[in-house]
Amino acid sequence: MTTIAEGKLAELKQHANNMRQEIVKMVSAANSGHPGGSLSAADIVAVLYFHEMNVGPEKVDDPDRDRFILSKGHASPVLYAALAEKGYLPKEELATFRKINSRLQGHPSKKMLPGVEQSTGSLGQGLSAANGMALAARLDKRGYRVYALLGDGEIQEGMVWEAVMAAGHYKLDNLVAILDYNHLQIDGNVEDIMNIGPVADKFRAFNWHVIEIDGHNLEEIIAALDEAKTVKGKPTFIVAHTVKGKGVSYMENACGWHGTAPNAEQLAQALEELCAQGGEK
Ligand SMILES: Cc1ncc(C[n+]2csc(CCOP(=O)(O)OP(=O)(O)O)c2C)c(N)n1
Ligand SMILES: [Mg+2]
């Protein structure tokens, strides 16, 4: 495994913690939104934006920028928090989340906010869009890479499997799909509602290279993304084992926090807990 300097890891941990604080603040302020699946993805998205991807506010139109598609678009708070942390928008604007005329709608819109590569929210569509971008890179002879983040409930959608088959067929080795495997969807356990397992074997059967990691271990996330870059002739699927609501004790593994906003008291507790985990504020 690549050794990552302690300082770099601490920096990434700080970004992820800052993002978690913004997630709970923005959902609480809007009194609406999806904290659970945003918190489960925070470490993955932090590594993508602050370590892995060639992106930034000065590169929104750069044809060689890497592409990130939040296929599970309801987790928009994690994307907005990352974009604000990276300087695409002022952090104060996060307070407009889900307000009329805000650029920060409940589900991300590429027409409204520079840095959003694909409008998402209708589950199941993001990987197809990612395939198109990955194929375009090949046709245009460009070296950018495409990263799509999918939910475990989301991949019950049939369209995902057409995209999985196509990506394997076209040998899209510039494409990485990451599964936020938190085992919860909107109204219960993924295993009870529509089991997706054995998901790694299923992707392997479609000609994907599969890596399983702890989706909250920054070093494992980095190593998996590094490994993906060495794979030729296959797209990579990273099965990231995560905890829904990660970082806020009362939200962890609690299905009810899929789409519920914390009240003022609950927000205060969440921020206190995140600060105790190394937060800045
Ligand atoms: C096509 C479609 N059907 C239903 C919904 C409503 N919906 C929003 S989130 C969600 C559950 C998603 O579960 P999962 O993919 O596991 O997300 P996570 O646990 O990461 O939040 C559903 C059914 C939707 N957004 N799109
Ligand atoms: Mg889930």
Per-residue pLDDT tens for 251-273? Answer: 999 999 999 999 999 999 999 99
Ligand 1, atom 17, lies closest to the CA of 151
| Longest alpha-carbon distance in the chain | 53
Select from 154, 182, 243, 257 the residue to mutate for testing ligand 1; criterion: most ligand atoms less than 8 Å from CB.
154
- Compute the distance from residue 1 Cα to the ligand 1 centre, in Å: 34
| Number of the ligand closest to the Cα of 74 | 1
How much is the pLDDT for 281?
Answer: 52
- Compute the distance from residue 102 Cα to the ligand 1 centre, in Å: 22
Ligand 1, atom 10, lies closest to the CA of 186
- 115: region left, alpha or beta (phi > 0 left; psi from -120 to 50 alpha): left
State yes or no: cis peptide before 198, omega within 30 of 0: yes
Residue 211 near residue 238, CB atoms below 8 Å = yes
pLDDT in tens, the chain (281 residues): 567 899 999 999 999 999 999 999 999 999 999 999 999 999 999 999 999 999 999 999 999 999 999 999 999 999 999 999 999 999 999 999 999 999 999 999 999 999 999 999 999 999 999 999 999 999 999 999 999 999 999 999 999 999 999 999 999 999 999 999 999 999 999 999 999 999 999 999 999 999 999 999 999 999 999 999 999 999 999 999 999 999 999 999 999 999 999 999 999 999 999 999 986 65
Q: Is the CB of 183 under 6 A from ligand 1?
A: no
| Structural domains of the chain ordered from first start | 6-276 (3.40.50.970)
Structure token pair of residue 276: 């105790």
Ligand 1 atom closest to the CA of 258, numbered from 1: 21
Which residue type does 40 have?
S
Ligand 1 atom closest to the CA of 259, numbered from 1: 9
Closest CA relative to residue 80, chosen from 59, 58, 49, 104 = 104
